[in-house]
Chains A and B, each alone.
Chain A
């Protein structure tokens, strides 16, 4: 099942500081609810786990994130995450792009778009519910990033 997740949030910090922060997956990962970085393969490839709950289903994936593009000039990035579900047959793949835009001097808007394909047990809960959970995760993530950059 293919799900499209889009959103934006604002961080009270200048855009170059936010951009620098996002360059460092080791700092970013703990802000992603349920995520854990297990190995840095090289500067573009990272291994990790993510675990989340959608209604009655708890899903855990193990996989890799590959950063395909980091465009400092336009402050946009593109990455692909692939994971196998743990404990049940399933697979997920996400192509994520995000871009930063200064909003005044000390404020930055973060816009992101993800194309997610899910197969297996988690797909049974349906795209609508997964989108709702993703929005909730985004809010927690934004709050955490804000905290880190304060």
Chain B
């Protein structure tokens, strides 16, 4: 049998486009429940302090205030959470560890009253010495953030026993061969110390949660990427079976990692528990910025090569600032370590990666974490090797890149992408061999990102008696087009038009288990579960039709919402009627994805290697140091594009965020206090920052683990862009070891000879 195959490979319009442009789409913050209160959070003004007392009596006395929550209200539960390390109380208990940490929360009849009540809460602090930078946190006599012998494992931990070393909460090493020997032999050694700033994910919708208790059951509407992981953490915190916690995810206004794992849900649930009424908490942008961010990093890297440009060895030490609580820090550390060698055929490499607690807001996931941190550094060293060896920068990559099937790192999945082909595509789009106009620099960067997280996804397809289908899947639609793409997969399998497939939002009481929406995993993994669910429905339809005509299913064809046998057809409603003898009933298919080899562990993973690649052509104004992006190029090595326009949109979005990370964005802290927490001071790329030209190329080698050879995209370009821009600058003779590439930094680099430079290394020795 065959399906008509019209569902995938077409750029059908987004299924939610009309709803969104007409303002009909509902987000968590739009929800209004009867009796719902508004919650506001009082946040710490100190980076590190003991709480001697919290007097909430005046706040409680304010008319309109229903409840005030403090750490003292949590004596009946174990109030600590954290999916990797259980190190964080849902509201401060006895101690605050960063400026912005929740100390109390007020639920009131309206927002203004809640806000006013915050100012009536009196907190008595004893200020403690703070470690507000990694340098301070790694110093010998540094104040300790978590004075425990062993860190408590989180629910989704898998890290082994963690004993903090001072403020280092997690360490990850990957190694192959003996680097020392290779460096001795090398003709060319490039080395440097590099810094990457703290940046903010900036989703347009800040974190929002609404919680409602009914008896001992709680329902939470949240702007979250991973509803099932949030459900598990809430159940654990409040001592409930998971079935008594229901997490519903309406549309989400962008995530980029900022809404991965558990964020504002626990404090909202705890406040609603105390108030005995539904409570809504919606962060402002400045509050969202201290809820999660991207790790700032210091990295020392050196690369060894022979005189002909053969790459030999690489050694890396890197320190990631995970802030006061680990959040997703350990995974970021491991992923950064994976990205550090870069996709080359090394004789040996050694990477030591550390996650460091500091008295700053916690850091977690952000699109292409790890790869974005490391790729610009590694790729700038490869360019420098090429310059010193006197060979072309594309050529050096073509010679040294890993080929499909070769080991990326010991114990992991071998390379599953054609990087040589991808680099050729970038070079071609940049007209690499054409003469450059004067004052123009060109650069490219290629790398790999361990993608897919854990391969656990399920989906249900319910074909209804009128021939429409409901797709139940817990993938969060956050602007990436998940509902559209997953509809297309059902459309492909059932030969149903996309308009006849409905995809409601995630709801843990309705849509089945999915590990998460992130790590470029949804089209690949949730998509595979969707395909399997749709195939069960298809098989049942064919079986019914085969029985009806007395023929084998393979003689039948699925087309236009019907099963065909020669010139005869039975529509889906006919088949359901045939099945149930009644104008009702439905056909249900379910699909499961689980680790198909090994244990699906991180060590055995990743699910696939996402290709991170980008190219740039730039010009620099020598008077101001401002970078002008003439051309930005991306290659989406996607395996098989379900919706080419959505792939391109993902590439463009990731590239623009990559430009923001490369050129503008940096959270500035002074003694742990963020100084630029408004969008006036913190510049994210706007329409004015678009490059003159953006070129995106599709590569469809059908080499991914998903249905039809699909693999994920959406993150890689973000890591590729800073690398490409840094290398384009170096092509102009401007070398910078610090992001973002602000006009001031570029100007200083241009005038390096007449401006004193910082000589001191940031860390004198490995901690």
Residues of B93-144 whose CB lies within 8 A of A: 99, 118-119, 123
What class of interface size applies to chain B in its complex with A?
10 to 19
Contact indicator B677/A124 (Cβ below 8 Å):
yes
Query: Given A124-B677, A126-B675, A119–B45 Cβ distance below 8 Å?
Result: yes
A125–B680 Cα distance when bound, in Å, is: 12
A125–B99 Cα distance when bound, in Å, is: 14
A118–B670 Cα distance when bound, in Å, is: 11
> A1: which B residues are within 8 A, CB to CB?
670-671, 673
Q: Which of the candidate stretches A29-37, A66-74, A84-92, A135-143 sits at the interface with the other chain?
A: A84-92
Distance of B432 from chain A, by nearest CB (Å): 44
Query: Given A87-B119, A89-B119, A123–B43 Cβ distance below 8 Å?
Result: no
A88–B42 Cα distance when bound, in Å, is: 10
Question: Is A2 part of the binding interface, using a Cβ–Cβ cutoff of 8 Å?
Answer: yes
Contact indicator B42/A89 (Cβ below 8 Å):
yes
Residues of A91-150 whose CB lies within 8 A of B: 91, 119-120, 123-127
> B674: which A residues are within 8 A, CB to CB?
124
> B319: which A residues are within 8 A, CB to CB?
none
A123–B677 Cα distance when bound, in Å, is: 11
Distance of B434 from chain A, by nearest CB (Å): 47
**Contact digits for B18-62, partner A, Cβ 8 Å, 1 yes 0 no:** 000000000000000000000000110110000000000000000
> B43: which A residues are within 8 A, CB to CB?
89
Partner of B670, one of A86, A90, A91, A127: A127
Contact indicator A124/B42 (Cβ below 8 Å):
no
> B670: which A residues are within 8 A, CB to CB?
1, 123, 126-127
Nearest CB in chain A to that of B675: its residue: A126
A86–B118 Cα distance when bound, in Å, is: 11
> A124: which B residues are within 8 A, CB to CB?
673-675, 677
Distance of B127 from chain A, by nearest CB (Å): 8
> B45: which A residues are within 8 A, CB to CB?
89-91, 119-120, 123
Give the total number of A-B pairs whose CB atoms are below 8 A apart: 32
> B119: which A residues are within 8 A, CB to CB?
86-89
Listed residue (B43, B671, B673) with the most chain A CB atoms within 10 angstroms of its CB: B673
> B123: which A residues are within 8 A, CB to CB?
89
> B118: which A residues are within 8 A, CB to CB?
89
A126–B42 Cα distance when bound, in Å, is: 21
A121–B119 Cα distance when bound, in Å, is: 12
> B675: which A residues are within 8 A, CB to CB?
124-126
What class of interface size applies to chain A in its complex with B?
10 to 19
> A86: which B residues are within 8 A, CB to CB?
119
A120–B119 Cα distance when bound, in Å, is: 12
Distance of B105 from chain A, by nearest CB (Å): 13
Distance of B694 from chain A, by nearest CB (Å): 35
Listed residue (A2, A88, A89) with the most chain B CB atoms within 10 angstroms of its CB: A89
Distance of A124 from chain B, by nearest CB (Å): 6
**Contact digits for A16-47, partner B, Cβ 8 Å, 1 yes 0 no:** 00000000000000000000000000000000
> A2: which B residues are within 8 A, CB to CB?
671
> B42: which A residues are within 8 A, CB to CB?
89
Nearest CB in chain B to that of A3: its residue: B670
Partner of B46, one of A87, A88, A119, A125: A119
Residues of B629-683 whose CB lies within 8 A of A: 670-671, 673-675, 677
A68–B389 Cα distance when bound, in Å, is: 69
**Contact digits for B234-274, partner A, Cβ 8 Å, 1 yes 0 no:** 00000000000000000000000000000000000000000
A31–B424 Cα distance when bound, in Å, is: 72
> B46: which A residues are within 8 A, CB to CB?
119
Nearest CB in chain B to that of A129: its residue: B675
> B671: which A residues are within 8 A, CB to CB?
1-2
**Contact digits for B341-375, partner A, Cβ 8 Å, 1 yes 0 no:** 00000000000000000000000000000000000
A2–B670 Cα distance when bound, in Å, is: 9
Distance of A17 from chain B, by nearest CB (Å): 40
> A120: which B residues are within 8 A, CB to CB?
45
A123–B675 Cα distance when bound, in Å, is: 7
Distance of A110 from chain B, by nearest CB (Å): 29
Distance of B627 from chain A, by nearest CB (Å): 25
A119–B175 Cα distance when bound, in Å, is: 45
For the complex with contacts A1-B670, A119-B46, A127-B670, 6 further pairs of A-B residues with Cβ separation under 8 Å are A1-B671, A87-B119, A89-B42, A91-B45, A119-B99, A124-B677
13 CB-based A-B contacts, threshold 8 Å:
A2-B671, A86-B119, A89-B43, A89-B118, A89-B119, A90-B45, A119-B673, A120-B45, A123-B99, A123-B673, A124-B673, A124-B675, A124-B677
Which B residues fall within an 8 A CB radius of A?
42-43, 45-46, 99, 118-119, 123, 670-671, 673-675, 677
The 4 A-B pairs of least Cβ separation, nearest first, read A120-B45, A119-B45, A123-B673, A126-B675
